[in-house]
Structure 1
């Protein structure tokens, strides 16, 4: 399963690669990283058919995760069927906006990697 992680925090790449080391080695998951909403859209232009899931932070400078989600759902209907939003703020406004614009799931920071792995395994096996 190819997953695009979108987050403006530079340490996210190392964190995911460490937490999913075994799954990456086993070929279960392959991660790509974009550090802004704009980067994610650029990446999708060339790889939309490969990506199965997007994990996107909501609060980023420039294009927010909500804006990215809206753009993906409007301009990339053949893009990932699964978009999970991640935010440091588990408030109802962000949750409702994410769901309104077509998010499939919602996580809060700090990311609970045990929970995330379970969700990914369910999607991977389903």
Structure 2
């Protein structure tokens, strides 16, 4: 079974940024990165990913169509234990409170602090491997 980090954002440059930041990890086989440009696409990936362990879902809050909060609600209905971190350009206290109340594990402001994301991915990998180092 492969380990997956799913990133959901409608901005095209986000994929390139994440691929650049995590290229060594992906190349070493520590985890796979998958990207969705909409909430609908992400939900399909989550539902169909039964053969893969999604260790973390990172989602933008503001997207056309199904927004991040709708995605959060629907993902938690399908996979309540899936860790979700919301990302937003509007990291005000109300948005943070709403995200946490609706089941998000955290809310990160844009621009993305990749050191924080890396620490979270490493923590999730350690939990997934039972504390053994990931490849």
Whether 2:90 is the aligned partner of 1:89: answer yes
* Number of matched pairs: 124
Per the alignment, residue 20 of structure 2 pairs with 18
Per the alignment, residue 69 of structure 1 pairs with 72
Matches of residues 1-126 of structure 1 in structure 2 within 5 Å? 1-50=3-52, 51-74=54-77, 76-77=78-79, 81-126=82-127
Q: Take 1:28 and 1:113, find their aligned partners in 2: how far apart are those partners?
A: 17
In structure 2, relative to structure 1, the CA distance for the partners of 1:45 and 1:77 (3 Å cut) is closer
Instruction: Calculate the TM-score normalised by the size of structure 1.
Output: 0.90
Q: Take 1:56 and 1:92, find their aligned partners in 2: how far apart are those partners?
A: 18
Mark the runs of 5 or more structure 2 residues left unpaired by the alignment.
128-135
1:48 Cα deviation after fit: 4.2
Moved over 3 A (4+): none
Mark the runs of 5 or more structure 1 residues left unpaired by the alignment.
none
Contact 2:56/2:124 (CA < 8 Å) preserved in 1? no
Q: Take 1:52 and 1:101, find their aligned partners in 2: how far apart are those partners?
A: 19
1:49 Cα deviation after fit: 4.9
Instruction: Calculate the TM-score normalised by the size of structure 2.
Output: 0.85
1:46 Cα deviation after fit: 1.3
